[in-house]
Amino acid sequence: MSTLICDFMADSYLENVAEKLCELKPGQFSHLLAHRKPNQQRRINKLKFLDATQLYRHENLPNCFKGLTVSSISLSQSVQLEECQILFTSAFDRTSPTPQSVHYVQHFFWDLAGYYVSFFKDNRKVDSLLFDNTPHLPWDICLFFVAKMLNKKVIFMRKTGIRGYVYIDEDFRPNKGSWGFDYNGLSNPLRNIVAKDDFYSDLDSLSFSKGQVSGMWPVDAKVKLSIFSKFLDVLRSMGLDNTVRFLGVIIRKPPNNYSVATNISEQKTTLAGMSFVNRWNFVKIHLAYVSALRYRTKLYDKLSSKSIEWDKPFVYFSLHLQPERTTLPEGLVYDDQVMAIRTLADALPSGWKLLVKEHPRQMKYDVRSIHARSCLDYERLNEIENVEIIPLSVSQSKLIQRCKCTATISGSVSWEGLLLGKPSLIFSENWHTDCKSTYFVTSVKDAKDALLNLRNLSVSNVHTDLCVFISNAHEYLINAALNANHLRMFFSKKNQNISLNNISSAILQRLNDK
């Protein structure tokens, strides 16, 4: 039996993980599905290569599945894939700034699913799949669900709120995940931390988001900038951000997807769902996006509360940056965050408010987010009773410190809140769902019960719950990086092999667990 490695060529660290796996267990891995081909001297080059650059447009599918035809999908199978179809269609938005017809997207979905079924029929020894993270693009969401339908084992890495720690899961849907696994032989500094009588301060110092500014990591000061980049920074400092962006659109080539995977290709998703976009058409896309972003920003500012009654009890809901895997697919229906906010608003005790603040990066330029937020989202929020839209200028730390609890789909604000002694409501199961001060809610009743329970929790209660949870779960967490950026930020150069060895060993233990 064998494993398909999916998309481990996004950066040098992930490629090294795939290489290490093939070194440790050379006979276990048979296929590599990726946007970049490995160099010839690498072990992973011996795997059968499937070209992921061909999975964004219907007409390119035969180039990925050479020699295969589309398998039929039975009615019973189509029912099993209904949830997948919804997520696939939503995820298509992030690959196509110009909307595609529902007719095209549906036909694309069913033919892609049919090709995956054909692949597994033709490669019956492939009984497991390894993803580098939660599948979140149309093609890997479809692959995930088809594999589940055919009873293939699926595992993927996910990040925690603790810097330098990840976990391995099997599903992102409620009551289907499985990450409670006792690993053997891994280096895990958390063992020394939980041995202390009180280790809350240690957890606080290890917070994943510590050091972030407006949801972003500061730029590495050691990175040398070109003369042109310095010139653009001067223009930005003069308030000419839009001019800089327009110059970039004019000067650079449109970010079209690669026509075929090579040794230097990479994942490009911004325009991947569209046929070739020339420079002029990309300029039009850019101008339409900038105009929409300007109107949306103005509306948000207009609807934002001019005065916040800090002395009144409130729940703080921090909107997710979108598109992101934490809402699509992990949030399922709550990818539409307004649905979660309505649920909370209906559950609030008398006299309470729900304060909602936009993610600061949502207002930053990123064409991939062209369909992720619109003026309609803010208008819908503004119509909900007991909901107040909070200005971007209000600090998140102050909102967390003053709230009764945080609320999110599956965002980092929940862990940040727990570290500050604030319980959390989440609408998607995540790594700390089993913490007693975390409440997984899916209905108004769930939310009402949670709000009733947490009213009597003190900061000390939450800290105790947090420490008990980590004491119970720390052996399930893997001291490793999720990608090259995390490796650079959370591991010194002398300890980077620890990350590689830990995650490689953990993956093999999970794949071979019967």
Helical ranges in 123-156 per DSSP H:
138-149
Q: Which helix (H) or strand (E) holds 125?
A: none
Nearest alpha-carbon partner for 8 in 91, 109, 130, 93:
130
The pair of three-digit structure tokens given for residue 468, joined into one six-digit string:
């008990």
Same domain for 502 and 365, yes or no, is no
Would residue 249 count as lying in a domain? Answer: no
The three-class DSSP label of residue 46 is helix
pLDDT band at 224 (very low <50, low <70, confident <90, very high): low
- pLDDT value, residue 225: 60
More confident position, 228 or 113: 113
Residue 288 has pLDDT above 90, yes or no: yes
Q: Model pTM?
A: 0.95
469 shares its domain with 485: no
pLDDT reported for residue 233: 72
With 90 as the cut, is the pLDDT of residue 216 above it? no
Q: In 10 A of CB 78, how many CB atoms?
A: 13
User: Do 501 and 469 fall into the same domain?
Assistant: no
Mean pLDDT of the chain, nearest integer = 94
Query: Is the model's pLDDT at 409 over the cut of 50?
Result: yes
The 10 Å CB-count burial string (b at 16+, else e) for 461-473 is ebbbbbbebbeeb
Statement to judge: residues 371 and 453 lie in one domain: yes
Identify each DSSP E strand in 190-329 by its residue range.
314-318
pLDDT of residue 220: 53
In a domain, 460, yes or no: yes
Show the CA angle centred on residue 399, arms to residues 455 and 165, nearest 5°: 90
pLDDT tens readout for residues 496-506: 999 999 999 99
Domain count across the chain = 2
pLDDT value at position 221?
A: 45
Token pair in block for residue 102: 């529902």
Domain assignment present for 54: yes
CATH number at residue 452: 3.40.50.2000
**Cβ atoms < 10 Å from Cβ of 73:** 17
Domain of residue 356, residue span: 308-474
Closest CA to 430 of 454, 451, 406: 406
Residues 468 and 483 in one domain: no
